[in-house]
């Protein structure tokens, strides 16, 4: 089938903020519930309207997110907000629906080894178990986004064939998902693998909306975003300050940074609806809460046209 054209300049790009879930889940010291709520509200204040707030996983597996229900109850949802959570199974889906999320994100790995490490079952078993999850959430009126981890490569198996990713995407479509998110779990995506996966999915599952979730492990996360834009993709996940990783994948580091992505998109002529200064402030708050420097570049340098007082800068001698 013919493939989509590049996203035209001036188009609105949707950014889904995943730091409160994908970022915080990796923090060893428990972040107080009130501070998590503070970060989410700061992200809303910056103009973000799609936020993956938490995950309804076992507190034993991810104790950092044991307060999922309390966080969702405490945030201030502005008009137009789209609040989502990750769910690994039917029980998580039921809890998420009870907590009042707008959408859930399910996840299965494209590689068998990573899926067994991540959820302790084969890929096809995970997909079969999602039948009950989808039925429950459809009855509750909750939107479902099908997630595919290790979509561009696996730290245990190496390359993941694009056809395997497309097979899972088609299965999600058959279950009733309207979109699929391709997760770059350990930053193995390259422009070539991104293009191949997008084309394979569009051939196997026409009409399925594609979202992209990149990590910056090898420094090419934003280059992969540019490839996605060239392929017509308009929805990207990112994490405040560059927080993130995966506790079940060797070598995983942070997601692409939200404020860096906002800067790139705005300077490239796209609309995001995000106030960059407020986004930087939200990243600074997050950095203060986790208690260490975060990898975001715009957080350190500021916007391109930020002015500095020449009187405060050392003048070269000679």
Q: 176-220, pLDDT tens digit by residue?
A: 999 999 999 889 999 999 999 999 999 999 999 999 999 999 999
* pLDDT tier at 293, thresholds 50, 70, 90: very high
Q: In the predicted model, is pLDDT for residue 2 greater than 60?
A: no
Domains and CATH numbers, the chain: 14-312 (3.20.20.70)
Q: Average of pLDDT values for 277-296?
A: 96
Asked if 66 and 54 count as a contact pair (C-beta separation under 8 A), the reply is no
The active-site residue out of 154, 224, 246, 257 is 246
Asked if 194 and 224 count as a contact pair (C-beta separation under 8 A), the reply is yes
Q: How far is CA 92 from CA 51, 138, 170, in A?
A: 18, 14, 23
Phi, psi of 78 (to 5 degrees): -75, 170
Q: Average of pLDDT values for 283-302?
A: 94
Please give the pLDDT value at position 253: 65
Q: What is the pLDDT of residues 232-256, one digit of tens each?
A: 999 999 999 999 865 544 555 689 9
- Centre a 10 Å sphere on the Cβ of residue 165 and count the other Cβ atoms it contains: 25
- Centre a 10 Å sphere on the Cβ of residue 132 and count the other Cβ atoms it contains: 13
The rounded distance, in Å, linking the Cα atoms of 276 and 278 is: 5
Q: How many residues can be counted in the chain?
A: 318
Q: Average of pLDDT values for 108-130?
A: 93
Please give the pLDDT value at position 182: 98
**What percent of the chain has pLDDT above 90?**
86
Please give the pLDDT value at position 3: 65
Question: 35-39, 66-70, 277-281, 313-317: which range is least confident on average?
Answer: 313-317
Q: 66, 70, 82, 85: which is closest to 34 by C-alpha?
A: 70
User: Rounded to 10 degrees, what is the CA torsion of 33, 39, 45, 50?
Assistant: -90
Tokens 């060239």 sit on residue: 230
Please give the pLDDT value at position 225: 98
Please give the pLDDT value at position 1: 53
**What percent of the chain has pLDDT above 70?**
96
User: Rounded to 10 degrees, what is the CA torsion of 24, 27, 28, 32?
Assistant: -50
Q: 286, 232, 230, 231: which is closest to 258 by C-alpha?
A: 286
Tokens 């420094």 sit on residue: 219
Any catalytic annotation for residue 154? no
Question: 59-68, 107-116, 188-197, 303-312: which range is least confident on average?
Answer: 303-312
Greatest mean pLDDT among 109-123, 155-169, 301-315:
155-169
């Amino acid at each position: 089938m013919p493939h989509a054209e590049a996203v035209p300049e001036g188009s609105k790009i949707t950014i889904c903020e995943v730091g409160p879930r994908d970022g915080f889940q990796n923090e060893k010291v428990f972040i107080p519930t009130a501070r998590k709520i503070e970060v989410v509200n700061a992200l809303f204040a910056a103009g973000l309207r799609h936020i993956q707030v938490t995950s309804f996983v076992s507190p034993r597996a991810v104790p950092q997110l044991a307060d999922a229900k309390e966080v969702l109850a405490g945030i201030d949802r502005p008009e137009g907000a789209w609040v989502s959570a990750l769910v690994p199974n039917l029980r998580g889906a039921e809890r998420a629906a009870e907590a009042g999320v707008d959408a859930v994100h399910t996840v299965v790995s494209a590689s068998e080894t990573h899926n067994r490490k991540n959820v302790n079952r084969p890929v096809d078993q995970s997909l079969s178990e999602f039948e009950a999850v989808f039925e429950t959430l459809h009855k509750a009126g909750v939107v479902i986004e099908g997630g595919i981890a290790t979509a561009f490569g696996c730290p245990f198996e190496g390359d993941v064939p694009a056809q395997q990713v497309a097979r899972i995407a088609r299965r999600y479509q058959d279950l009733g998902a309207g979109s699929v998110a391709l997760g770059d779990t350990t930053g193995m995506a390259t422009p070539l693998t991104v293009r191949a996966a997008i084309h394979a999915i569009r051939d196997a599952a026409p009409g399925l909306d594609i979202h992209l979730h990149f990590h910056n492990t090898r420094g090419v996360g934003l280059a992969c975003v540019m490839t996605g834009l060239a392929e017509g993709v308009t929805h990207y996940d990112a994490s405040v300050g560059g927080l993130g990783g995966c506790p079940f994948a060797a070598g995983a580091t942070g997601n692409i940074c939200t404020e860096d992505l906002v800067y790139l998109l705005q300077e490239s002529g796209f609309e995001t609806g995000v106030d960059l200064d407020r986004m930087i402030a939200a990243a600074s708050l997050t950095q203060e809460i986790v208690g260490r420097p975060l990898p975001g570049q715009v957080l350190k340098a500021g916007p391109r046209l930020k002015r500095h007082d020449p009187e405060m800068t050392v003048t070269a001698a000679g």
